[in-house]
Amino acid sequence: MDPIFWLLAAVVIGWLGQMYTTYRQSMAFNRQVRAMRPFGTISVGVGGRRYRGGRAFVAIAVDESDVVRRALSLSGFTTFARGREVPGLIGRRVNVLAGERSIEGLSKPQRLAARQAAVLLKQGKKSTAARGVTV
């Protein structure tokens, strides 16, 4: 057979393998996020750049008094990365996360993701309150 065929076949097999491992990673992170539901309302944010410093996803579980009860971060350059607890966010108020101050123990992408998660949570609460929906 033609060497070009084998090259294209290898590229397609590699691409399909990457899609499969990416799917597995996202499903594992979603399972971890679902396990946080008993601790409060969940919000997920993303921060960072894909190729410069990497991306980070941060999920927070917030109780009724707007305090973070659980926090999980997914970051890494490979599809084998798994979610890890972020103890630096636990016990902090959502307003602190939505602010500009740095938080010790968080990388820049994690900090940006935590800020986005907090802002999205606050926006969601405002929109449900405006519609008269109680959560």
What pLDDT is attached to residue 50?
74
What pLDDT is attached to residue 60?
96
User: Are the beta carbons of 111 and 84 closer than 8 angstroms?
Assistant: no
Q: How far apart, in whole angstroms, are the C-alpha atoms of residue 52 and residue 23?
A: 23
Helix (H, G, I), strand (E, B) or coil at 86: coil
Q: How far apart, in whole angstroms, are the C-alpha atoms of residue 111 and residue 55?
A: 11
CATH of the domain at 38: 3.90.1010
The answer to the question of residue 135 being in a domain is no
Token pair, residue 77, equals 């350059």
What pLDDT is attached to residue 61?
96
What pLDDT is attached to residue 80?
67
User: Which distant-in-sequence residues (6+ apart) come within 8 Å of 54 by Cβ?
Assistant: 48, 75, 76, 77, 109
**Which segments of the chain have a pLDDT < 50?**
none
What pLDDT is attached to residue 111?
92
pTM of the model: 0.82
What pLDDT is attached to residue 112?
92
Residue 116's domain spans which residues?
3-130
Look at the chain and report how many structural domains it folds into.
1
